[in-house]
């Protein structure tokens, strides 16, 4: 069918905003949209990200970002960020699936992020990095297992 073919053409890989490894090869100069204060840091999410979408989108302005989370900076590898500071960051592109810390095990771990200050609205945002379908499936399985464990209580 035509629709299936167009879906394949428009496929957008899932994105990870919290990385297990330092993002080697990332060039902050590649960000050409006026982003300021780009930093690569090791962080820990302080709670489960909050989804910013609404059930009823009729007439409502949809948030630019899918999610919001508070995170603490543990180490700065490059750029401007403050160690020990808590940042409120926004992330998630509506055209991509994404993975993020959700389970207690995931929230207890440190991650690398690329964050920046967006002068258009004054918010801190995270940069997403494409992941493969295996990584996405593994995360979906862990999410499902976590949700099932929550409903058994």
Return left, alpha or beta for 26; rule: phi > 0 is left, psi -120 to 50 is alpha, else beta: beta
With cut-offs at 50, 70 and 90, classify the pLDDT of residue 66.
very high
Only one residue has tokens 């994404």, namely: 98
20 Cβ contact partners less than 8 Å away, ≥ 6 residues apart: 111, 112
How much of the chain, in percent, has pLDDT values that exceed 90? 63
Q: Is the per-residue pLDDT at 4 higher than 50? A: no
Q: Is the per-residue pLDDT at 3 higher than 60? A: no
Q: Is 116 exposed, middle or buried (0-12, 13-18, 19+ CB in 10 A)?
A: buried
Q: Is the per-residue pLDDT at 6 higher than 50? A: no
Q: What's the mean per-residue pLDDT of the chain?
A: 87
pLDDT of 88-142, one tens digit each?
999 998 989 999 999 999 999 999 999 999 988 999 999 999 999 999 999 999 9
Q: Which of 76, 73, 85 is nearest to 40 (CA)?
A: 76
Contact indicator for 71, 89 with CB cutoff of 8 Å: yes
With cut-offs at 50, 70 and 90, classify the pLDDT of residue 24.
confident
């Amino acid at each position: 069918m035509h629709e299936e073919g167009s879906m394949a053409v428009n496929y957008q890989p899932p994105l990870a905003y919290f990385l297990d490894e330092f993002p080697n090869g990332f060039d902050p100069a590649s960000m050409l949209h006026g982003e300021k204060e780009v930093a690569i840091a090791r962080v820990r999410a302080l709670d489960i990200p909050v989804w910013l979408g609404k059930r009823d989108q009729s007439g409502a302005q949809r948030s630019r970002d899918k999610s919001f989370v508070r995170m603490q900076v543990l180490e700065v590898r490059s750029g401007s960020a403050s160690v020990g500071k808590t940042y409120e960051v926004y992330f998630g592109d509506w055209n991509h699936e994404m993975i993020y810390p959700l389970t207690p095990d995931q929230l207890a771990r440190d991650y690398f992020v690329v964050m920046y200050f967006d002068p258009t609205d004054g918010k801190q945002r995270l940069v997403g990095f494409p992941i493969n379908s295996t990584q996405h499936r593994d995360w979906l399985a862990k999410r499902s297992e976590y949700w099932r464990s929550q409903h058994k209580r």
